[in-house]
Every structure is written in C-alpha cells, then in structure tokens.
Homo-oligomer: A and B are copies of this chain.
Amino acid sequence: MPNHSILILPGDGIGPEVMAEVRKVINWFATHRNLSFDVTEDLVGGAAYDAHGKPLSDETMAHAQAVDAVLLGAVGGPKYDDLDFSLKPERGLLRLRKEMDLFANLRPAQCFDALAGFSSLKPEIVSGLDIMIVRELTSGIYFGEPRGIHDDGDGGRVGINTQRYTTEEIRRVARAAFDLARKRDNRVCSMEKANVMESGILWREEVSWVHEHEYPDVALTHMYADAGAMQLVRNPKQFDVIVTDNLFGDLLSDAAAMLTGSLGMLPSASLGAIARNGLPKALYEPVHGSAPDIAGQGKANPIACILSFAMALRYSFDLGAEADLVEGAVEAVLARGLRTADLLGEDGTEPVTTSEMGDAIVAAL
C-alpha cells in the first residue's frame, strides 16, 4: 500500500473541473515517477448537502482525518444562499479546518512575470511581488462563543460574534510565520488592531514574546490592520511574511491575492500540527472560489488547483523536487503563451479550455 494518501474533495462550481486536471498530474507521477498516491474522492459543500443533507458527513470528516493530505476544490453557490446557517456549504470547509486543527493558512501572493499586466496595479508596483500571508485559521471570530442572533425582548434583534484568542493559539501561528520567514527574506510583519481591540493587544504581545524568545534572528514589525490594507495597495513589495488573525487574514489575503491580477493562479495550504509521521495535517485549496457563473463551461483556470497540489508535494510529502517540477511546468506553459479565459488580454489570443491547460501542463512535465 502506498503511504501517500490523498482525499480529493472537488466541492461545488468549478471545483470538479479544476480537480479533474489535478488528477492528470497525479496520474503522471504514478506512470512516470513510480510515485503512486492512494487517491480517494468524496463530497463537500453544496454537493455534500445535495447528497446527504449536510455540507460534510461524519464519514468524510473521519476520512479527512485519516489521510496524509486533503485537496479541496471550492465550496458554495447561489443555489445554497437560503439554507440555514449550519447547513451552508461554507460550514463543511470550516468544519474541516476546525476539526483537523489547521491553524496556519499559507497564502502566497506571487506575481507571475508573464501575467504582471493583468494586475489593476501599475507593473512596477507588482512585478516580482512575492508575499506570504500566514492567516490564523481555527480561532478568532470565526469560531468564538457566544454567537448567534436573538430577540432583544423589545421587538428588535441582536447579532453577536466573539473574537477570542489564547496565548497558545497566537504563539503557534506566529511560529509558523517565523519558520517560513527564515526560508525567505527573514522578515515578519504582524497585523492587528491593538489600538482598538484587547485581543489585538494580546496578539501583539504574544507574537513579540515568540520573537524575543525563539526567533530573535528574524526581523519583526507590527502594523495596524487598516494601515496594512493601505500599504498592501500602496507598496506591497515592502512585505515578506505577514501574520494575522482569521478575520483580518480573510480580507487582507484576498486583497493581496488580487494585487497579482491572476487569482486563478494562486494556491493555498492550511497546515496543522506535526503528526506522528513528521508531517503536518494539511488541506490544500485554490484561493479562488467556486465561480458558479462559469462552472461547467471549460473556462476555469486549473492552475491554482494544480499549484495547490504542488504545495501538497512540498509540505505533506516532503517532495520538494517534484513540487519544483510541477511549478516549472506551469511556468513553461505560461511562457509559451497558453492562457485560459481569465488570463486573456486584448491582443486577440484564443483561450484554451480547462482541460487543454491541464493537458499542456502534463505534457510540459
């Protein structure tokens, strides 16, 4: 039995299409590198709701806990907009993150040279951009209690959510950020609203503690999250690694991703604690969403999902050379001018389909 087990959860919208291309890459490794993965597939999000009446079944959850890596496509769609909160497609993804304890969400925002023109920012502001955002993913206002909506007894209602962070939750994600920085430009910028929120003060103090006691060699700065949003727009290349909480990370990493102009290119990894095999629990997914408007039309760009698999090779299977191979194939294909519909300029190039792009990447391997 191969010891590389992968659970594929294509999910909704364009998820299944882009995942089909990842399958081709996985098959290539089996055929040409004798690297066989034990791949199984299951449902998440709206697709799981349609089949089981909930966005993630207990069986799928148990299965995700048992494999080495989970690859997820995307969840959500207008069809599920009116579902009860607890049944929404997003709850399936959030349950995976929480129960697998995937506390460190790595979101690289990298600008591909061949695609710098797609950014809404000036080329000189974004060319060569290479930021890593480390977002805390299992705590904060996403999961804090008390939460809910109740009547105020006076004819109105009250909606409540709780931002809650502990010392250990902050320290462990800070360590993930410092570790990454050491392999990059050795700089971490931590973002919060310590001028307004006590949870932000604790965040700043605990990140500083980890820095002082464990990573004094890494350069650490602090920035208020609103200033961070500004600086990402003004001069994003000033950053190396950014570490921030779950909610700020949600907005800031999306803004950072959009700076690159090519959302269809960006992968992400969500990592948990190191398990017995020496590797972290992990889930990999493209940064883009389920894009229901173009689903099923062969227009989706499979690269973000294929690069998410490359991250899996690197972080879950310790196959750095193989990850480089996949990333190199993507670059080669882009350099040859192949573009899916999302990457088309005004020069009249014909777009390739999702599946043609996948085939080209496999051929380039």
Residues of B within 8 A of A258 (CB): 229-230, 233-234
Q: List 21 A-B contacts (CB under 8 A).
A: A90-B195, A94-B196, A120-B233, A142-B196, A149-B198, A152-B167, A156-B166, A158-B167, A159-B164, A159-B201, A160-B164, A160-B199, A161-B162, A161-B163, A161-B197, A196-B250, A225-B251, A229-B255, A229-B258, A232-B255, A233-B255
Residue A360 at the chain B interface, CB threshold 8 Å: no
Q: How far is the CB of A28 from chain B (nearest CB, A)?
A: 33
Cβ contact within 8 Å between B199 and A159: yes
Cβ contact within 8 Å between A201 and B85: yes
A251 with B248, Cβ < 8 A, contacts A160-B162, A165-B158 known? yes
Residues of B within 8 A of A263 (CB): 230
Q: A147-B197, A158-B167, A248-B251 are in contact. List 14 more A-B contacts (CB 8 A).
A: A85-B198, A88-B195, A120-B235, A121-B121, A149-B198, A152-B167, A156-B167, A157-B202, A159-B200, A161-B199, A196-B250, A229-B229, A229-B258, A247-B247
Residues of B within 8 A of A158 (CB): 164-167, 202
Residue A148 at the chain B interface, CB threshold 8 Å: yes
Indicate with 1 or 0, residue by residue over A161-186, a CB within 8 angstroms of chain B CB atoms: 11111111000000000000000000
Contact among B122, B162, B251 with A251 in the assembled complex (CB-CB below 8 Å): B251
Number of chain A interface residues as a range = 35 or more
Contact among B167, B198, B254 with A160 in the assembled complex (CB-CB below 8 Å): B198
A250's closest neighbor in chain B, by CB? Answer: B226
Q: How far is the CB of A66 from chain B (nearest CB, A)?
A: 27
Residue A134 at the chain B interface, CB threshold 8 Å: no
Q: List A residues 79-128 near B (Cβ within 8 Å).
A: 85, 88, 90, 94, 120-122, 125
Residue A76 at the chain B interface, CB threshold 8 Å: yes
Contact among B90, B165, B226, B259 with A254 in the assembled complex (CB-CB below 8 Å): B226
* Most B Cβ at <10 Å: residue of A202, A247, A251, A255: A251
Contact among B197, B198, B229 with A252 in the assembled complex (CB-CB below 8 Å): B229
Cβ contact within 8 Å between A161 and B198: yes
Indicate with 1 or 0, residue by residue over A256-269, a CB within 8 angstroms of chain B CB atoms: 01110001000000
Residue A193 at the chain B interface, CB threshold 8 Å: yes
Q: How far is the CA of A201 from the CA of B147 in the complex (A)?
A: 12
Indicate with 1 or 0, residue by residue over A133-159, a CB within 8 angstroms of chain B CB atoms: 000000001101001110010001111
Contact among B122, B159, B255 with A230 in the assembled complex (CB-CB below 8 Å): B255
